[in-house]
Amino acid sequence: MATHEPTRADNSRSRVRVELGERSYDIRFYHDEPDALACDLAPYCPERALIVSNPTIWNLHGEALASALTRAGVDFIVELIGDGEEFKTLAHDLALRGFPVIVLERGDIASGTSGRTHGLLHSGSRYCVTDGEAAVECIQENIILRRIAAQCIEFNEGFFVALDEEDLNYAPQFVEGCRAAGIPVHPLTPQQALSVEPNLNPNLLAAYRVPDGAFDPLRLALSFAATAKRNGAVFLTYHEVKGLILRAGGVAGVIALNRHRGQEVRLEADLVVNATGAWAGIIAAMANIHVPVVPTPGVMVAYNRRLINRVVNRLNTPGDGDILIPQRRMVVIGTTSFETPDIDYIPVDENQVEEMWRKAVELVPAVANAEQRGAYMSARPLIGSGEAGRSLSRTFKSYAHRQNDGVSGFITITGGKATTCRLMAEKAADMVCEQLGISAVCRTAELPLDSYRTYYQSMDGDAIE
């Protein structure tokens, strides 16, 4: 198989990757020498070559290459892959693009923020008035995740319900925001909403239906990790990064502690990606770089009855306790928003738990008859710009530290939401390619993920007993 794409560093030449068995070869050629390339390729293509390109590149160079290959007697077919629109996700993307990847996790998979999310597959409508960019990202990724990660998602819908006049006044801008972001939104009368969700507050004044859903946070992370593993990524869980290997003005690897054994390991790398969410600022500081991430925790409370089948949102600007989600035999209310200096241990504040209960009872009064099953806290990694947490964007940002800070071999991606994890990975992987001068196409939007259970099928098996 040959992959024909130009290098980013030098647009006067192209790189052709030739994969033969387990090995691959990169052949670079100048655009005015396609015949020489074709002659070089011919001995390696005894039967038929598969040329993978994206439409843009193929339109630029495909005709010349195809003519030259034909003249050299090389039989070939062309596959064009369309220009499509966190860490397990990034490993999956990079592994698919052919990179050798090592993932380090301080704990087990999803033991940080991604495991403790609310579990809401956002339609984007929560943000459509206040954060249009995040809303568009959410609806696009919502559609993609339904396709590639169906195994982890309950395909519920969501209702936005108005409980007072202020909520009703918000409705026109909400509907307009949804339409602007491309989010399907359907108005319902209170009677229509109550007929399918009988536990809703009976005093609701209006409702809108949107394509929200609920996902299983651990299993979503595992399915990305499982697929990355099958494509060659190596996962070192219980490995805590203790420092970065700094060399010649750049990052050349990491120093980590194998927590199972209490032993330090050094891992050299061409590029280190800091995809540590709320901890991104801490890791970046190891290279004396400031990343403006603001860890913004919120509390979530689970109750022991499944009182709704659809996500229920308060029809108003994003606020505390405005989303109630059905999960398994529970409903989960969330969340709050505050800042904390220590994100390794964030105690669950009992006042916030009580506040969540009040908010949940407003949306679904039957919560008053349920029992609390769990209460938990996790820190969102919001991109800081000196504003309060609620007003910070839910979008994400990647930082190429070579350009921004003069530190090579190191990039950071942070911000975002679980719903947009795949898109974040795509952008980060694009940046990896750019930094390494390699061009490879993202395929994660098209390929369904492996079963999450297969993550465990190739454990290293270094158990004690």
Partner 1 sequence: MNNIRWTIDMEISRQRQGEERHFEVFRLEVDPNEYVLDAIERVWAFHDRSLTFRHACHHSTCGACAMLVNGVEKLTCITPIRTVTADGGKIRVEPLRNFPVLSDLVVDMSSLYSNMEKTNFSQVAPLDQSYLPYEEKPEADEVERLVDCIECGMCISACPGAATSASYLGPAVLAAAHHVYLETGASCLLDLVDSKDGVWRCHSAYECSEVCPSNVDPAWRIMDLRKRIIHQRVSSWFTRKERA
Residues that bind partner 1 in the complex, under the rule CB under 8 A = 107-111, 115-116, 119, 150-156, 198-199, 216-219, 221, 238, 259-262, 300, 302, 304-309, 326-330, 332, 344-345, 347-348, 350-351, 354, 366, 369, 371, 373-376, 378, 451, 453-457, 459, 461-465
Residue 221 DSSP code? H
Reduced to 3 states, what is the DSSP secondary structure of residue 316? Answer: coil
**Nearer Cβ to partner 1 (22/462):** 462
**Nearer Cβ to partner 1 (2/299):** 299
Asked if residue 212 lies in contact with residue 122, where contact means CB atoms within 8 angstroms, the answer is: yes
Strand partners, 162: 206
CA distance 87 to 424: 9
What is the secondary structure of 63-120 as a DSSP string? Answer: HHHHHHHHHTT--EEEEE------HHHHHHHHHHTT---EEE-SSSTT-STGGGS--E
CA distance 453 to 64: 46
Give me the least distance between CB of 153 and partner 1, in Å please.
7
**Nearer Cβ to partner 1 (9/459):** 459
Give me the least distance between CB of 336 and partner 1, in Å please.
15
**Nearer Cβ to partner 1 (108/339):** 108
What is the secondary structure of 117-150 as a DSSP string? Answer: S--EE--SGGGTTT-HHHHHHHHHHHHHHHHH-G
**Nearer Cβ to partner 1 (385/457):** 457
Residue 335 DSSP code? -
Give me the least distance between CB of 167 and partner 1, in Å please.
24
Give me the least distance between CB of 263 and partner 1, in Å please.
9
**Nearer Cβ to partner 1 (15/239):** 239
**Nearer Cβ to partner 1 (97/380):** 380
**Nearer Cβ to partner 1 (377/407):** 377
Collect all residues with Cβ–Cβ distance below 8 Å to 178 and sequence separation of at least 6.
124, 125, 128, 135, 184, 185, 208, 210
Peptide bond before residue 189 is cis, with ω within 30 degrees of 0: no
The identity of residue 187, as a single letter, is P
Give me the least distance between CB of 358 and partner 1, in Å please.
13
Q: What is the dihedral of CA 363, 364, 368, 369, to 10 degrees?
A: -170
Give me the least distance between CB of 436 and partner 1, in Å please.
32
User: At 127, phi and psi to the nearest 5?
Assistant: -110, 5
Give me the least distance between CB of 288 and partner 1, in Å please.
23
Give me the least distance between CB of 298 and partner 1, in Å please.
13
